[in-house]
Amino acid sequence: MAHPEYQYLSLLRRLIDHGAARVDRTGVGTKALFGEQMRFDLSAGFPLLTTKKIFHRQAIHEMLWFLSGDTSIRPLLANKVRIWTDWPLANYRKKSGEDISQEDFEARVLVDDTFAAQWGDLGPVYGKQWRRWQGPDGKVIDQIQDLVDGIRTNPTSRRLLFTGWNVADLPDMALPPCHMTYQFFVADGKLSGLIFQRSADTLLGLPWNLCEGALLIHMLAHQCDLSVGDLVWQGGDVHLYLNHIPQAEEQLTREPRPFPQLVIKRKPDSLFDYRFEDFEITGYDPHPHIKADVAV
Ligand SMILES: Nc1nc(=O)c2c([nH]1)NC[C@@H]1CN(c3ccc(C(=O)N[C@@H](CCC(=O)O)C(=O)O)cc3)CN21
Ligand SMILES: O=c1ccn([C@H]2C[C@H](O)[C@@H](COP(=O)(O)O)O2)c(=O)[nH]1
């Protein structure tokens, strides 16, 4: 069987060859396809792309941050994860008129509590909706805890899902959720998960989304005494930014190598008690990193 990474590489190829040219919110421009799907059998390996190095250390931190319910970039910065800085930074520069550098902005968020509260928060993004969805009656809903309970007590339920797409809260979010809905399925002692992603930056964001989706399935399966099944990824507007085409062409010259394995070294009492040190990726031997600028 062909290496599963060819699903991703063939998507890059099709985007370059057949994507519809579009003007997008960022002004960069994209080539886009609508309605794409990929499937990875997690028992056969961890889907961390090998045709370029993916910074999985940062991706693991991001997933733990979502699960913690936090929406400030401060805990990310404390772990040297800088992928979310651009949005609050642009907001601060615009509103304050101060031409602050990214480094200085990040340093202030880290040391100054008042500054961090005012400028370092992304609004009611992923973590808030996943863990603290506010009901109309003021009741707070923990969608992830409910999911864990559901998988354990009613594994054939067709309602094992959670979503970040809280319509009423969208205007207050720095960015509306991209990987917006997750659904789960238990069969033959295996847990599978499906991600619906309304908008996918195929070169930069998507490899992280696959890594983090796979990590979440592993964690849920670990907690619910199941083994891992498939990660199914579905994308709505799946795009390649025009300034990423040379990087995509470079990546397409490379041959996939075997996927690594994820080792979870400890079983904590709950899904929310995992620490970064509990995870190890073994056997990862990727091609070199390919640098690309993120569209803000
Ligand atoms: N245009 C865009 N693409 C995204 O993927 C994206 C957004 N915006 N906005 C919100 C988050 C932030 N995410 C990001 C942002 C940056 C990188 C990025 O630049 N990754 C580089 C290296 C990062 C580094 O040097 O630490 C990579 O090669 O993966 C990845 C995901 C995913 N999301
Ligand atoms: O996890 C993520 C988060 C974001 N993205 C990408 C997808 C788009 O390129 C932008 C978001 O812009 P919108 O105009 O809100 O669609 O970020 C991603 O791929 N993965």
CATH number for position 159: 3.30.572.10
Tell me whether residue 178 is one of the annotated catalytic residues. yes
CA distances from residue 144 to 98, 128, 226 in whole angstroms, order as listed: 39, 11, 17
Range(s) of the domain holding residue 187: 6-56+142-282
In a domain, 292, yes or no: no
**Closest ligand, as measured to the CA of 294:** 1
In a domain, 87, yes or no: no
Q: What stretches of 1-100 adopt beta strand conformation (E)?
A: 20-22, 30-41
Q: How far is the CA of 177 from the centre of ligand 2 (A)?
A: 8
Which residue reads 């009656």 in tokens?
137
| Inter-residue contact 48 to 259 (CB < 8 Å) | yes
SS3 at position 99? coil
Query: Which residue in 122, 178, 204, 221 is the catalytic one?
Result: 178
In a domain, 148, yes or no: yes
In the prediction, which pLDDT does 136 show? 87
Residue whose C-alpha is closest to residue 72's, from 32, 122, 113, 111: 122
198 is an annotated ligand-binding site residue: yes
In the prediction, which pLDDT does 180 show? 98
In a domain, 214, yes or no: yes
In the prediction, which pLDDT does 125 show? 98
| Inter-residue contact 178 to 90 (CB < 8 Å) | no
**Token pair belonging to 213:** 């989706």
In a domain, 130, yes or no: no
In a domain, 293, yes or no: no
Tally of domains within the chain: 1
Question: Is the Cβ atom of 177 under 6 angstroms away from ligand 2?
Answer: no
Question: Is the Cβ atom of 204 under 6 angstroms away from ligand 1?
Answer: yes
In a domain, 201, yes or no: yes
Q: How far is the CA of 124 from the centre of ligand 1 (A)?
A: 19
Question: How many Å apart are CA 107 and CA 128, to the nearest integer?
Answer: 24
In a domain, 155, yes or no: yes
Q: Which residues in the chain show pLDDT less than 50?
A: none
Query: 171-203 burial, b if ≥16 CB within 10 A, otherwise e?
Result: eebbebbbbbbbbbbbeeebbbbbbbbbbbbbb
**Closest ligand, as measured to the CA of 197:** 2
Residue 227 DSSP one-character state: E
Question: Is the Cβ atom of 232 under 6 angstroms away from ligand 1?
Answer: no
Q: Which of 58, 87, 201 to mutate to test the pocket of ligand 2 (most atoms within 8 A of CB)?
A: 201
The pairing of strands 190-201 and 227-241 is: parallel
Question: Is the Cβ atom of 109 under 6 angstroms away from ligand 1?
Answer: no
In the prediction, which pLDDT does 234 show? 98
In the prediction, which pLDDT does 159 show? 98
- In what order do the strands lie in the sheet containing 30-41? 20-22, 30-41, 227-241, 190-201, 179-187, 161-163
